[in-house]
Amino acid sequence: MRRIWRNGIYLDESEATQSLYDSGSLYGDSCFEMLRSFGKNIFKLDAHLHRLMDSIKFTGIPCDYNFYQLRAAHGDLINANRREFLADDEYRTFINVSRGPLPIYSEILSCQPIVTITVYPLRWVLRGQSRFYQTGRPAVVTSQRAIPSRYLENKVKHHSRMSSRMAELEAKRSDPDAWPILMDEEGCITESTGANFFIVKRNRIITPEPRNCLRGISRNFILQLARQNGMEYREKNIETFDALMAEEAFFTATPCCIVPCTSINGQPIGKGKVGPMTELLSSKWEEAVECEWRLQSMLWDKQNEV
C-alpha cells in the first residue's frame, strides 16, 4: 500500500481523504504543484517548491511548513514508497495546500490548513500519450477565454479552474484528442489548460509573454535549452493568425514534456507533421535529463496493450 504525507503524518493512500466542507473543494481555495521524475530523479523540485511557496504567500494560506520542511517531507515520502515503485520506471508527485474547512464549520471541524503530499506511478498520467509524440495533437482555440490576471492572478497555481474545464470540454466536442488554446480579452493566445504554448516561425521560437499565463516550469526549461543551444526565441503576443501561419507549434507541461501540435481548428500547422525544431528541442530535453521519455512512454503504452 502506498503511503501519503498529511500535515506531518504518514497515512495509507486509502486515508487520503478530504472533508466535504473543505474550502479547496467548495471554492477551489488551494494551491498545488505536480511533479515528475526522470530516472527516479524529480525534475526541477526546487523550482516547483519556490512557485508553491509564492502561491501560498500570495493567497494568504497560513501554511505551517516552509520550503525546506516541504522539500524534506517530499523526499521522505518517496523513500517511504520505494518498494512500491521497484517495478515502475517513474513516479508522479502531488503537493496540495488547502486552507482547510470553512470557519462556519468550526463547531464540528478543525479549520486548520491541510498540506498533503502523494506519490503514484507516472504511467497512470501518460496512458495513451506516446502516439502524440509521433503524430502531434490537434488543438482548438476555444470561445472560453482565459481569466484576466486582474480578476484572478494567473501566476498562482491554484485549483479555481472551472474556466479551464469548460475550455477542455469545448475542445473535445470538436475532437476527442484536442487540447484547448485559450485567448485573453484582446484576442491574444495565453496557454492551454495545464500547458504552455509555443510556435516556431522562421527558425525562431515564440511563446506568449507571461502576462496572462502561468510561468510554467517546463516553459522556462525550453527557454533555457534555447539559450544553451544558440536558438533564437522571443516572448510576445501571439494571435490565432500567427499560430495558423507558423511552421511548427507545440505544448509544454511537466508530465509529458513537449507535445507537438500539428493542427489548430482543423487546419494543419506547417506540413501537419512534427517539425524539426520541435524534434530538436525534444532530443535536447532528453539529453539534459538523461532519459528518453518518448521511448519510455511508448513502452508503457505497449505494456498496456498486452
Residue with cell 473543505: 22
What separation in angstroms does the CA of 78 have from each of 3, 18, 117? Answer: 9, 22, 10
> Would you state the pLDDT for residue 306?
62
> Would you state the pLDDT for residue 152?
67
pTM of the prediction? 0.94
Grid cell locating 29 = 481555495
Q: Which of 192, 236, 196 has its CA nearest to residue 215?
A: 196
Alpha helix (H) residue ranges in 41-150: 45-59, 67-80, 122-125, 130-135
Tens of pLDDT along the chain (306 residues) come to 899 999 999 999 988 888 889 999 899 999 999 999 999 999 999 999 999 999 999 999 999 999 999 999 999 999 999 887 767 779 999 999 999 998 888 888 888 899 999 999 999 999 999 999 999 999 999 999 988 776 667 788 988 888 899 999 999 999 999 999 999 999 999 999 999 999 999 999 999 998 888 899 999 999 999 999 999 999 999 999 999 999 999 999 999 999 999 999 999 999 999 999 999 999 999 999 999 999 999 999 998 876
300's torsion region: left (phi>0), alpha (psi -120 to 50) or beta? alpha
